[in-house]
Amino acid sequence: MAVGLMALGFGVSPAQMATAIGVSLGAQGLGSMLLRGRFDWKSPLISGLSLSLLLRADGLWPFALAAALSIGSKFAIRAGDRHIFNPANFGIVLMVAFSGAAWTSTGEWGGAPWFAAMIAALGAVTCWRASRLDVPIIYLGVFAALVVGRALYLGDPLSIPALRLSHGALILFAFFMISDPVTTPMDSRQRALFVSAAAALAYIGQFHFFISDAIFYAPFAVALLRLLAGDAGAGARYQWGTAPGPLRFIFHARGRASAPAE
């Protein structure tokens, strides 16, 4: 966030950041109190920071409403003992699709390779600690295969897909949003399918329907399909704080170690 504000000129004010983070923490506290649950400040802080990084608006109320929707979805839309949607993704999608007062910051991130590499390095450490390093690798791999395949089919120079794949917003999304350990499947095979479907939908939405925010709509749609299919609450629940296990991809045998939860 500091690099974005100082070097990239992000269009978000300190008041908007404080609103997103403050309302996220307040909504988490209220929900925990009403449901007599344990107050965990880390999750709403991450959601508030994600909204500050990825959502843009002219006033304060869109950030407040987005934060309330994001955290509220954790308590209101659940399957079993887990929430379904990535909170920040839920808030961003609803605000961009229906409010008419908010948009995403994807155009602010640029495509500087050094910046993409910095985000990827920090994100790799975070995802490894959450036992979710397979998620950005699979997501970016599938998306890259589709984008490069499209360029080869159209006869475009490979510098075009290379520029698309080094976009800071895409790297940030892959390492810090879709990799959310609570809302991705625990089983590595199901997780690979979930992530691949999100990458494919993002590609289709962006290049066939020209939806600039398709990367946000895609995981929302896949999570909704899981909910409608009755699969969202199946399996073990992620437990925060568990030591990271071995990196598992779809071709690995199902291990005993299981991941960490909310």
> Which letter does DSSP use for residue 261 in this model?
B
* C-alpha dihedral, 134 to 138 to 139 to 140, nearest 10°: 110
Please say whether the beta carbons of 51 and 68 come within 8 A. Answer: no
Helix (H) or strand (E) segment spanning residue 55: strand 55-57
- Indicate the pTM of the whole model: 0.84
Q: Coil, strand, or helix at residue 222?
A: helix
Per-domain residue ranges of the chain: 13-104, 109-228
Q: Quickly count: other Cβ atoms within 10 Å of residue 41's Cβ.
A: 12
Q: Which two tokens stand for residue 179?
A: 């990799």
Instruction: Reduce the secondary structure of 67-103 to three states and give it as a string.
Output: HHHHHHHHHHCEECCEECCCHHHHHHHHHHHHHCCEE
108-118: buried (b, 16+ CB within 10 Å) or exposed (e) per residue? bbebeeebbee
Between CA 220 and CA 86 the distance in angstroms is 8
Half-sphere exposure of 229 (CA within 13 A, CB side): 10
> Looking up tokens 């992000």, which residue turns up?
10
- Return d(Cα 138, Cα 146) in angstroms, integer: 12
pLDDT value at position 181? 87
Look at residue 253 in the predicted model and tell me its pLDDT. Answer: 42
Q: What angle do CA 89, 93, 98 make, to 5 degrees?
A: 155
Question: pLDDT (tens digit, 0 to 9) for every residue of the chain, 262 residues total?
Answer: 555 555 556 778 889 999 999 999 999 999 999 988 888 888 899 899 999 989 999 999 999 999 999 999 999 998 877 889 999 999 999 999 999 999 998 877 776 777 788 889 999 998 998 889 999 999 999 999 999 999 999 999 999 999 999 888 899 899 999 988 888 888 889 999 999 999 999 999 999 999 999 999 999 999 999 888 776 555 555 554 555 555 555 544 444 443 333 4
**Exposed, middle or buried by CB within 10 Å (0-12, 13-18, 19+), for 160?**
middle
d(CA 50, CA 73): 15
Q: Give every CB contact of residue 81 below 8 A, 6+ residues apart in sequence.
A: 233, 237
Structure tokens at 249: 């991809």
Which pLDDT value is given to residue 5?
56
